[in-house]
Amino acid sequence: MPNPLYDALFRPHEGNEAVFLSLKDGRDISYAEFMRLAARLANALAASGVQPGDRVALQARKSPEALGVYAACVTAGAVFLPLNTAYTPAEVEYFVTDAGVKLLVCDSASRAALEPVAQKAESALLTLDADGGGTLADLARNQPAGFAAAERGPDDLAALLYTSGTTGRSKGAMLTQDNLLSNAEALVDAWRFTAADMLLHALPIFHTHGLFVASNVTLLAGGGMVFLPGLDMDDLAAHMRRATTMMGVPTFYTRMLADPRFDRALTGHMRLFISGSAPLLAETHRDFEARTGQRILERYGMTETNMNTSNPYKGERRAGTVGQPLPGVALRIVDPETGAPVPPGEVGIIEVKGRNVFKGYWNMPEKTAQEFRTDGFFITGDLATMDADGYVTIVGRAKDLIISGGYNIYPKEIELLLDEQPGVAESAVIGVPHPDMGEGVVGVVVPRNGADLSETVLLGAIAGTIARFKQPRRIFVVDELPRNTMGKVQKNVLRDRYKDTFG
Ligand code: MCA
Ligand code: AMP
């Protein structure tokens, strides 16, 4: 039975004894072993009542088994819904309920906190630990190591990834088999991935970058991954020699630059360093080349669209640009108001169309319609210019979004929370330059009727309600927010006022 994603990424590896995952502790997992794990997990999902099209959510630490749940979902035809491990139970509840999840898989440590969530959402709950333990792992252990892949078509959903909305409400981006497969094919080709590659993988696997860009590209090319639990500079230095390529968010590169071990001797054998998810400063690009002799290849993507542009593998990798549209991606830069294309070199909003672009937001047909033009182009909300050679330079965002260490934070979500606190009349949340994370979150609040607001009390009040990475690192109390003549808060004025907060 056809299942295009399984047929391209997984089926060729049944019986493939080459190394797929090489772990920090020295253990190697072959493709064949990973395929048996995925089949056992697929049987365990089926035994838990998961049918093709059902959503399976995973909030678990990075491990071969966690990646195995993704593979199992593709195999069993389920829709994979990965969740940031930093999300609080309240945040998880929204995703699980909104998506109508059939099975929620979490670390044993969060089982007690998530049991009421699963109950409320009428979802089954199983556990999976980073050491391979847990109730899902136990169930899988006794299952057959083969599974006849469920029949799926190119337009069927493979994954549901939540991205926060400008209204503060998260939206589930529906990604089809073909969205994922077409992008993996384009990237393998563009970046020349082969079975000889070993990718240094220190990213989380709950976002497009570490999951689809890194893992799907590796699976399609048949190469391996040095699969590290997270970004630890000692691990990165220790395992660099075993790798040929690396993918990271800009923080990976600024941390490498801050560490003298990462020099030509350590990195000289590498074939390719790739950066994305957030702007890489041209300065970082140049400093990295000066230190290592390597020109980072920067690319640009989005959860809704997978990867859209890339600097060339051969040819000029221009610092400060995200390169040219990938083959198969139609990209135009338009006037945000009229939708008319702007002349080369002028700033407009990026719109894209292609097999890579998602099917829409889960259960939000109106929101989906608003974000597409009638001719099928998706409005990204990123502001950019394109030069005569087709190189795109991102200059800002029309959407109110902060990107901290590669994680997206929507100010509206934090503002709603601050506004609820006693004594707060109104608030504004902004991103300002941060030496490590690119942008850092700052809150600005106005007291109600002269209330005596304290930064510490406010920070304490929101701790625990939202993921730590979203919480402002500083909150300033002011008499009033700067507004334009239309009454709109001037966030640019605030960003300028607080630009030196993180030094
Ligand atoms: C961790 N912390 C953060 C972040 N990460 N704070 C703000 N922003 C962050 N990104 C906080 C923790 O809450 C904690 O706070 C403290 O930093 C240390 O936590 P730890 O986990 O040790 O941090 P770390 O290991 O140093 O993590 C930093 C990191 C990580 C390596 C940059 O955030 C990361 O791996 N980011 C990659 C995100 C990613 O994959 N994005 C791709 C999205 P405290 O100590 O105060 O409690 S996909 C995408 O964007 C599109 C499609 C694309 O184009 O790729
Ligand atoms: P996400 O919603 O997590 O998929 O984040 C997508 C957003 O990240 C894009 O809309 C851009 O604003 C930003 N982004 C991704 N890659 C880059 C890049 N190379 N340079 C600048 N911004 C980027």
Ligand 1 atom 39: the closest Cα is on which residue? 406
Point out the domain boundary residue: 124, 153, 182. 153
Angle between the N-to-C axes of helices 282-292 and 250-257, in degrees from 0 to 180, rounded to the nearest 10: 50
**Residue 164, pLDDT score:** 75
392 with 406, same domain?
no
Angstrom distance (rounded) from CA 91 to CA 84 = 10
- Give the mutation target among 394, 410, 413, 439 for probing the ligand 2 site: most ligand atoms within 8 A of CB: 394
Ligand 1 atom 1: the closest Cα is on which residue? 469
pLDDT digits (tens, 9 = 90+) for 355-370: 999 999 999 999 999 9
Within a domain: 172: no
**Residue 16, pLDDT score:** 98
Within a domain: 127: yes
Q: Which CATH number covers residue 23?
A: 3.40.50.12780
Within a domain: 205: yes
Within a domain: 163: no
* Beta bridge partner(s), residue 254: none
386 with 407, same domain?
no
The rounded Cα 93 to chain-centroid distance in angstroms is 20
CA atoms within 13 A on the CB side of 374: 2
Within a domain: 169: no
**Does residue 407 have its Cβ closer than 6 Å to ligand 1?**
yes
Q: Cα of 70 to ligand 1 centre, how many Å?
A: 21
43 with 147, same domain?
yes
* Beta bridge partner(s), residue 452: none
Average pLDDT over residues 371-389: 96
Point out the domain boundary residue: 123, 153, 183. 153
pLDDT digits (tens, 9 = 90+) for 141-164: 999 999 999 999 999 999 999 997
Q: Cα of 469 to ligand 1 centre, how many Å?
A: 7
Angstrom distance (rounded) from CA 423 to CA 427 = 11
Within a domain: 472: yes
Q: To which H or E segment does residue 3 belong?
A: none
Which atom of ligand 2 is least distant from the CA of 163?
Answer: 2
Average pLDDT over residues 426-443: 98
**Residue 1, pLDDT score:** 80
237 with 328, same domain?
yes
**Does residue 358 have its Cβ closer than 6 Å to ligand 2?**
no
Residue 169 clears pLDDT 90, i.e. is over it = no
Which band of pLDDT confidence, cut at 50, 70 and 90, is reported for residue 424?
very high
Rounded to two decimals, what is the model's pTM? 0.97
Q: Which CATH number covers residue 416?
A: 3.30.300.30
Strands (E), 133-287: 157-163, 171-176, 198-201, 224-227, 245-248, 272-275
The two structure tokens encoding residue 253: 């590169």
Angstrom distance (rounded) from CA 161 to CA 277 = 15
Average pLDDT over residues 270-275: 98
387 with 406, same domain?
no
Task: Note down the domain range covering 258.
Answer: 191-397
Are 326 and 190 within 8 A, CB to CB? yes
Which atom of ligand 1 is least distant from the CA of 301?
Answer: 54
Q: Give the total number of structural domains in the chain.
A: 3
9 with 98, same domain?
yes
Nearest 10 degrees: CA dihedral of 313, 316, 322, 328?
Answer: -50
**Residue 167, pLDDT score:** 60
The two structure tokens encoding residue 15: 């019986």
Residue 87 clears pLDDT 60, i.e. is over it = yes
417 with 366, same domain?
no
Angstrom distance (rounded) from CA 29 to CA 96 = 31
Residue 394 clears pLDDT 70, i.e. is over it = yes
The two structure tokens encoding residue 70: 């993704």
**Does residue 182 have its Cβ closer than 6 Å to ligand 2?**
no
**Residue 242, pLDDT score:** 96
